[in-house]
């Protein structure tokens, strides 16, 4: 449904670029099957490999992805993410604990699983970004101390249409309605569209960004898992400004919804996705996507199989201003 928001009290996002040519990535130093997140992440699968071999494969995939993005003109900040007393098996998915804005704001978000909360390292993030020449003005937690069991896992659960000032979100244990509204107010978005989902298993999708992606002129969405009335609302809103590509639940399982439109240093559009997603899109769907950017398929098969997240989950967009 569309949340009621008093538009005259909320600053409307204007002249904001939807895409960025800078991202933050975190190496999968402690990567392994995360039992805690597997409770509601049906995309995770175990592999019969020793943990040491899994981490070696994951690190190879990670640094190959960094290299591919850099070769296409994307600025990548790799966080100096040294291990500590707590294992962080899902640290490779940093887009779940922070987001950035062109005003220099960094927002921090509460995550549902205890071992994922140890990923939140704002001082380390700030240091690494400033070393790359980015300006961090404020760091703002988006949380509710009165409701410690309310979670909002950043751009994992929120699909941000920066140009239109709209947020799309599938409600779940990891996506609290009240915190959604709080972020809308803090970040200056003026339309919030949230909805319920139901997969073939009967469960809700754990993160919106595995079922949905929004670019400047296109949207990919697994709309068949949205209840019919809400589905019509979501599609009608998207179609006002986007070319909509509907994917099946099977394609969603191959991470076709987990893609991200970026820019390169020449202001050309790219669309990053996994090889699995690329192979699962139909020829017609790929032709449509190519109208909106060069397709960049990247092999992250170990990470997406065991971690239950893919290329988009590995990319935290960096909209921060550069120091002059």
Residue 169 lies in a domain: yes
Average pLDDT rounded to a whole number, residues 282-311 = 97
**Does the pTM exceed 0.75?**
yes
pLDDT tens digits, residue range 154-209? 999 999 999 999 999 999 999 999 999 999 999 999 999 999 999 999 999 989 99
CATH of the domain at 290: 3.75.10.10
What is the 8-class DSSP label of residue 208?
G
pLDDT of the residue at 84: 67
Transcribe 237-302 into DSSP letters.
Answer: HHHTT-EEEE--HHHHHTTTT--EEEE-TTS-EEEEEEHHHHHHS-HHHHHHHHTTSEEEEE--HH
Tell me how many domains the chain contains. Answer: 1
Does 225 map to a domain? yes
pLDDT at res. 314: 98
Which DSSP string corresponds to 15-64?
A: S--S--SEEEE---TT-S--TTGGGT-TT----SS-HHHHHHHHHHHHHH
pLDDT tens column, 228-239: 999 999 999 999
Query: Does 322 map to a domain?
Result: no
Q: How confident is the model at residue 3 (pLDDT cuts 50, 70, 90)?
A: very low
What is the mean pLDDT of the segment spanning 131-148? Answer: 91
User: Is the pLDDT at 15 greater than 80, yes or no?
Assistant: no
In angstroms, the CA 14 to CA 118 distance is 35
Q: Report the alpha-carbon distance of residue 2 to residue 236 in Å, rounded.
A: 12
By the 10 Å C-beta count (0-12 exposed, 13-18 middle, 19+ buried), 136 is classed as: middle
Residue 7 has pLDDT above 80, yes or no: no
Predicted confidence (pLDDT) at residue 63 exceeds the cutoff of 80: yes
Strands 191-195 and 166-170: parallel
Task: Give tens-digit pLDDT for 75-109.
Answer: 999 998 776 678 899 999 999 999 999 999 999 99
Domain annotation covers residue 324: no
The pLDDT score that the predictor gives to residue 8 is 34
**pLDDT above 60 (res 136):** yes
Please tell me the predicted confidence (pLDDT) of residue 39: 67
Q: Is the pLDDT of residue 43 over 80?
A: no
The reported pLDDT for the residue numbered 44 is 60
Show the domain range for 42: 7-317
Q: 90 with 29: CB under 8 angstroms?
A: no
- Write the DSSP symbol of residue 209: G
Residue 11 lies in a domain: yes
- Return the pLDDT at 38: 67
The answer to whether residue 82 sits within a structural domain is yes
The answer to whether residue 2 is domain-embedded is no
Cβ proximity of 118 and 88 under 8 Å = yes
Question: In this prediction, what percent of the chain has a pLDDT beyond 90?
Answer: 81
The average pLDDT across 246-259 equals 98
pLDDT at residue number 4:
33
Average pLDDT value for the chain: 91
């Amino acid at each position: 449904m569309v949340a009621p928001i008093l538009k005259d009290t909320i600053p409307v996002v204007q002249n904001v670029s939807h895409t960025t040519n800078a991202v933050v990535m975190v190496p999968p130093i402690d990567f392994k099957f995360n039992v805690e997140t597997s409770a509601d992440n049906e995309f995770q699968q175990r592999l019969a490999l020793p943990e040491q071999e899994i981490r070696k494969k994951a690190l190879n995939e990670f640094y190959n992805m960094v290299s591919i993005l850099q070769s296409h003109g994307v600025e990548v900040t790799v966080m100096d993410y040294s291990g500590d007393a707590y294992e962080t098996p899902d640290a490779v998915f940093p887009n779940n604990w922070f987001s950035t804005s062109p005003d220099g704001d960094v927002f921090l978000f509460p995550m549902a699983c205890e071992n994922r909360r140890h990923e939140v390292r704002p001082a380390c993030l700030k240091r690494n970004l400033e070393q790359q020449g980015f300006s961090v003005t404020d760091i703002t937690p988006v949380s509710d101390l009165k409701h410690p069991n309310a979670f909002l896992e950043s751009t994992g659960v929120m699909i941000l249409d920066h140009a239109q000032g709209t947020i799309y979100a599938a409600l779940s244990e990891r996506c609290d309605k009240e915190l959604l509204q709080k972020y809308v107010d803090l970040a200056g978005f003026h339309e919030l569209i949230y909805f319920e989902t139901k997969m073939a298993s009967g469960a809700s999708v754990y993160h919106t960004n595995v079922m949905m992606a929004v670019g400047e002129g296109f949207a990919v969405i697994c709309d068949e898992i949205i209840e019919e009335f809400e589905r019509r609302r979501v599609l009608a809103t998207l179609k006002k400004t986007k070319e909509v590509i509907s994917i099946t639940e099977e394609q969603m399982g191959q991470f076709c919804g987990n893609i991200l439109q970026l820019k390169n240093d020449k202001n050309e559009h790219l669309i990053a996705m996994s090889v699995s997603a690329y192979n699962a899109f139909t020829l017609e769907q790929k032709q449509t996507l190519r109208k909106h950017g060069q397709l960049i398929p990247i092999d992250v098969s170990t990470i997406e199989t065991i971690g239950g997240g893919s290329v988009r989950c590995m990319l935290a967009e960096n909209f921060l201003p550069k120091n002059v």
